[in-house]
Structure 1
Amino acid sequence: MTFRFCLFLMTLGAATPTAVLAQNTPRELNTLPTVPDSARRQTRQQPQLSQQPQPPAQPAPSTAPVPASPIPSENSKFAVGLKNGTVYRAYDVETKQPIFGRSYLLLDDQRRIDLSEISFYEDESGHYVRTVLPKSSRETTLRRDRVGRLSLYSQTSTQYAGSGYSPFGYGRYGGYGYGGYGYGGPMYRTVKTEYFSKDNGPIQDLSVRNLSIATADNAGSVALLMQARKYQTFTTLSYIAAAGVVAAGLFSTLNPGQSGSGISPLIYAGIPLAIVPIVLGSKQQQNIKQAISLYNRGSE
């Protein structure tokens, strides 16, 4: 029995530390678990890494339209080109022709440019070029009426036609008279003279002969111009015949010894002959326009 008691005491002594440790364990449940040193060092390093400066994020490409800036004068609607190659843009272009001094252009009421420096310009009425006319050494301004291999230009001028009454109010190339109907008043007529250039070459008179040479490589245009030449011949003959008949009628009227009193019937006969050139001239101009249009279409 003594042996068994000793063995019990030894067993109890060995189990006592374990029991004490089991009793202390619940009191440590409310504390944080113990973390190893290696894990503790990693935990301390993570906030430091997150605090390092990050590179700025690149903005995503935007598809929204960029607001337009105010339009500068260089992007305005009218162009003015100088002979030195400079081109100005303006909202407003005015031609100034002072009584004393040289003519000039005024751009946007600010910039003043002498016409002698200008190669071309635009305004509300169209496109104009500065050029030298055939058989002339002085520059003039021509309005461009049509653009193509054969470009058309024109110049309009007012001419004094004398004083007194004249039944002929129309001039050549579409000109017309005004302010002169009646006796004793001054008469003026507006005359439109037309020109052309081939492939932006020199300015030439708009005549059937010049156009025939310029359109020699287009059979259709040549045929139309040949017909226009015939109309031109008939027009000239009609003018001569009308002038002769009217002159004979005036001679008979002013010489009452041969024809008696009153107006000679030859004057009335000359009126239809004076109308014939107007009709033939209109057909001639129509053929010329068709020949130019055909040539420009054939070169497109």
Structure 2
Amino acid sequence: MMKKLFFLILVAWAATQTARAQDMGQRYFIELMTGERIYAHKIQFKSPLFKQNYFLLDDSLQYTPDRVRYFQNQEGYFARLNTTGRRFGDFAQRESAGKISTYFVYRTDYNYSPGVGVGMGGVGMGGYGYGYPTQRRVYYFSKENGPLEPLSYKNLRVALSDNPGSMESLQKYKRGQNIQLGMYIAGGGLMLAGLQQQFRSTPEGGSKISPLFFVGLGVSLLPQVIRLVKKDQLSEAIELYNYTPVN
């Protein structure tokens, strides 16, 4: 009797260890809207032609994107935006994790230039041109695994309101934005004044450009230089919030 009991315990222990080893080997997962997690060795997002998109787990299991809240694959950890969740672009990739986690998605913009058309009347400028795509990152954040919100001064001011250090960084950010706006306005005004001065001083169409134009151009470019050398206060506010110990 004791031998049988010992044998059953040994078999149960071996089965538990095997299952644990399998779970550890399955590094990736999807988490459904119900909270259930399904682990897999490989997760792919499929977009078949004329069919519904789906997540493919280990080349066998399929889950439609509208059922998925989070997933982690070989590219990273992704969270669902406040959308229908039918496309891969409806999930944002996590950039940093903490009490405030940051996420981003790529968005494509198309810049169009005026087209040149040749017709019966000769050559002319038209409204149709060639567009070239540019990608940019759009950032979001999540507070304590809550829903994703656009990463903006307005939203962070609410989310970080219980941290004085973060609020101070946000105030610095707002002051900096106002100063930069003033620089853009002042620079534009100086450039316009320079152009007016040029046309007044050289009515016959001279090519000399007024120094005011270059001064205005420099003032307008100064905010861009400041952004390159100065740390973003929004990121600083998030870092302070994440690293401030909870009392």
TM-score using structure 2 length: 0.72
> Mapping of 1:215-226 within 5 angstroms?
215-226=160-171
| Whole-angstrom distance in 2 between the partners of 1:255 and 1:210 | 48
Stretch moving more, 221-230 or 273-282:
273-282
Larger radius of gyration: 1
Distance 1:58 1:211 in 2: 60
Give me the whole-angstrom Cα distance separating, in 1, the residues matched to 2:206 and 2:4. 110
The match for 1:143 is: 93
Structure 2: distance between partners of 1:99 and 1:57: 58
Provide the aligned C-alpha RMSD in A. 3.7
Letter in 2 for 1:237: G
Whole-Å Cα distance in 1 between the matches of residues 149 and 5 of structure 2? Answer: 64
Q: For residue 278 of structure 1, report the CA deviation from its aligned partner.
A: 1.4
Alignment of 1:6-45 (within 5 A): none
Which structure 1 residue ranges, 5 or more long, are not aligned?
1-54, 165-183
Q: 1:117/1:261 Cα in 2 relative to 1: closer, same or farther (>3 Å)?
A: same
Question: Identity of aligned pairs, percent?
Answer: 25
Deviation at 1:188, TM superposition (A): 2.8
CA distance in 2, matches of 1:118, 1:255: 65
Q: Which residue of 2 aligns with 1:275?
A: 221
Aligned to 2:52, the other structure's residue is in SS state coil
* Structure 2: unaligned runs, 5 residues or longer: 115-128
Query: Is the partner of 1:148 in helix, strand or coil?
Result: coil
1:242 aligns with one of 187, 194, 204: 187
Work out the CA distance in 2 between the residues paired with 1:272 and 1:101.
Answer: 53
Structure with higher strand content: 2
- Work out the CA distance in 1 between the residues paired with 2:98 and 2:3: 58
Once the two structures are TM-superposed, the CA of residue 220 in structure 1 deviates from its matched residue by 1.4
CA drift of 1:292 comes to 1.0
Alignment pair present for 1:288 and 2:216: no
Equivalent-residue separation in structure 1 for 2:48 and 2:209 (angstroms) = 52
Alignment of 1:137-176 (within 5 A): 138-139=84-85, 140-163=90-113
Aligned partner of 2:206 in structure 1 is 261
Match of 1:86 in 2: 36
Aligned length in residues: 221
Q: Measure, in 1, the Cα distance between the counterparts of 2:72 and 2:239.
A: 24
Is 2:155 the partner of 1:210?
yes
**Is the CA contact 2:66–2:84 (under 8 Å) kept in the aligned structure 1?**
no
Determine helix, strand or coil for the equivalent of 1:102. coil
Question: Quick one: higher RCO (CA 8 Å, sep 6+), 1 or 2?
Answer: 2
